[in-house]
Amino acid sequence: MDLLQLLIIGILGLAVVVAGTVFLARRRALPPATKPELPARPTAEPTAPPAEPGETPASELPAVPALERPEAPATRMARLRRRLAGSNNPLARGLLSILSSDRLDAEAWDDFEATLITSDLGVGPTQQLTEALRHELAIDGVSDQALARQILRTELLKLVDPDLDRELKVDGADGKPGVVLVVGVNGTGKTTTIGKIARVLVAENKTVVLGAADTFRAAAADQLQTWGDRVGVPTVRGPEGGDPAAVAYQAVQRGLDDGADVVVVDTAGRLHTKTGLMDELGKIKRVIEKLAPVTEVLLLIDATTGQNGLIQARVFADVVQITGIVLSKLDGSAKGGIVVQVQRELGVPVKLIGLGEGVDDLVPFEAEAFVDALLSE
């Protein structure tokens, strides 16, 4: 009882003080608040002198004997279309049959909205899309299915925004390797995705180092190593329960030493509500950046995730400034509509999608192909 009261009182007090200072801080001219973090710390860290033999023709290293040869990227797209068409057709069929019915009454629009909502698109975007379509169709008075589909396609495309830059940034500057940090909540498929990314990179004749900075989950490092060994990529790992930032640092150091093109760092799954774990994640990124800038921070979102995905993305974006989203497990019956909202709110594009457990089931996200696949029959 007492404790509870205190808690309330304490929190209120805290709120007052914080709100007050925040208010004051805002009111003061911005400069002090937006003080850049760097100048204070002269990069005294032994930033491993760029001793790597500059332009090592390391790409001539396909001396990966008897290793699995990853599939070329081109054939992946075809499979994407097939998979999506297979799994998501009910959505397309539902939408089109509603649109092509003779009379579009309120009930039909309700059904339409419902179909969209069941793809986890979220209430906001759904209403927006429905509004837009209603408007379009009211002008043209469409009962022709082809035209209806055309309009639906345009509107859907608008929603996914094809103009975003979806290139994976894996090229480091100044002879340093590109660093890809992969983050996400538990069980979204980070380790698996990294294994697949490593394969794609190897297929592009890049040299890769994997960093197993998931020191928490049992056997996570083993799992990553298994993936690495399959394509002949070294995995840097630390003791279980060790400091993940240290492992990440070592991995990037190894990448620098070996003159690798890309270092991909795996992190332990963490719920975005765990302040301590999120701080740890921030630390991992900071520590890596003592050696080389992180070129890409990928957030994994599971296609089955509902509206919580947006909150997750917000928090992760706050802590590590995510630059891209990977939508995993899209091969199930879930449609991953939540990424549309994430993309809209945070402006972070979906860059890759995972389509299954097969080793090459990772494809780049292409807005047009995605929408086409959704609407194909």
Partner 1 sequence: MFDTLQDRLSEVFKNLRGKSRLSEADIDATAREIRLALLEADVNLAVVKDFIANLKARALGADVHKALNPSQQIIKIVNDELVEILGGEARPLRFAKRPPTVIMLAGLQGSGKTTLAGKLGLWLKGQGHSPLLVAADLQRPNAVNQLQVVGERAGVHVFAPEPGNGVGDPVQVARTSILHAMSKLYDVVIVDTAGRLGIDAELMQQAADIRGAVNPTEVLFVVDAMIGQDAVNTARAFEDGVGFDGVVLTKLDGDARGGAALSIAKVIGKPIMFASNGEGLTDFDAFHPDRMASRILGMGDVLTLIEQAEKTFDAEQTQKAAEKLLGGRGEFGLDDFLQQMQAVRRMGPLSKILGMMPGMGQMKDQINNIDEREIDRLEAIIKSMTPAERANPKMLDGSRRTRIAKGSGTTVTDVNSLVNRFFEARKMMQSLGGQMGGAGMPGLPGARRQPPRQAPKPKGRGKGVSGNPAKRASSPEALPAAAQQPEWNPADAFGLGKSGQASDADLAKALGDFQLPPDLQKMFDQKNQGPR
| Binding residues among 10-29 for partner 1 as defined by CB under 8 A | 10-28
Residue with smaller CB distance to partner 1, 19 or 64: 19
Q: Token match 């089109």: residue? A: 96
- Per CB under 8 A, the list member of 164, 304, 346, 376 interacting with partner 1 is 304
338 lines the binding site for partner 1 (CB under 8 A)? yes
Residue with smaller CB distance to partner 1, 253 or 267: 267
How far apart, in whole angstroms, are the C-alpha atoms of residue 184 and residue 181?
A: 10
DSSP secondary structure letters along 356-370? -SSTT-EEE--HHHH
How far apart, in whole angstroms, are the C-alpha atoms of residue 305 and residue 297?
A: 20
241 lines the binding site for partner 1 (CB under 8 A)? no
> Of the listed pieces 130-138, 142-150, 201-209, 296-304, which binds partner 1 according to CB under 8 A?
296-304
Strand ordering across the sheet containing 208-213: 235-237, 208-213, 262-267, 178-184, 294-302, 324-328, 350-354, 362-364
- Per CB under 8 A, the list member of 70, 122, 259, 324 interacting with partner 1 is 122
Residue with smaller CB distance to partner 1, 26 or 167: 26
Q: Is the dihedral of CA 275, 280, 283, 284 positive or negative?
A: negative
The torsion region of residue 252 among left (phi > 0), alpha (psi -120 to 50) and beta comes to alpha
Helix (H) or strand (E) holding 92: helix 74-99
CB of 269 to partner 1, least distance (A): 8
Site string for partner 1, 28-57 (x = CB under 8 A): x---x-------------------------
- Answer whether 306's CB lies under 8 Å from 335's CB: no
Residue with smaller CB distance to partner 1, 94 or 162: 94
> Of the listed pieces 71-79, 122-130, 155-163, 206-214, which binds partner 1 according to CB under 8 A?
122-130
Q: What is the DSSP letter of 49?
A: -
Question: In this structure, what token pair is assigned to residue 232?
Answer: 């002949």
Site for partner 1 in 168-227 (CB under 8 A): 185-189, 192, 195, 216-220, 222-223, 226-227
How far apart, in whole angstroms, are the C-alpha atoms of residue 6 and residue 9?
A: 5
- Answer whether 220's CB lies under 8 Å from 270's CB: no
120 lines the binding site for partner 1 (CB under 8 A)? yes
Residue with smaller CB distance to partner 1, 291 or 334: 334
352 lines the binding site for partner 1 (CB under 8 A)? no
Question: In this structure, what token pair is assigned to residue 336?
Answer: 């991953």
CB of 322 to partner 1, least distance (A): 17
Question: 149: helix, coil or strand?
Answer: helix
- Per CB under 8 A, the list member of 52, 80, 87, 294 interacting with partner 1 is 87
Phi/psi for 159 (5° steps) reads -65, -35
Q: Give the strand pairing for 262-267 and 235-237.
A: unpaired
- Per CB under 8 A, the list member of 72, 114, 138, 146 interacting with partner 1 is 114
Give the count of residues interacting with partner 1 (CB under 8 A).
83
Residue with smaller CB distance to partner 1, 134 or 274: 274
CB of 45 to partner 1, least distance (A): 20
Residue with smaller CB distance to partner 1, 206 or 329: 329
Question: In this structure, what token pair is assigned to residue 181?
Answer: 């940090």
Phi/psi for 302 (5° steps) reads -75, 135
Site for partner 1 in 358-377 (CB under 8 A): none
- Per CB under 8 A, the list member of 129, 310, 327, 340 interacting with partner 1 is 310
- Per CB under 8 A, the list member of 51, 72, 78, 123 interacting with partner 1 is 123
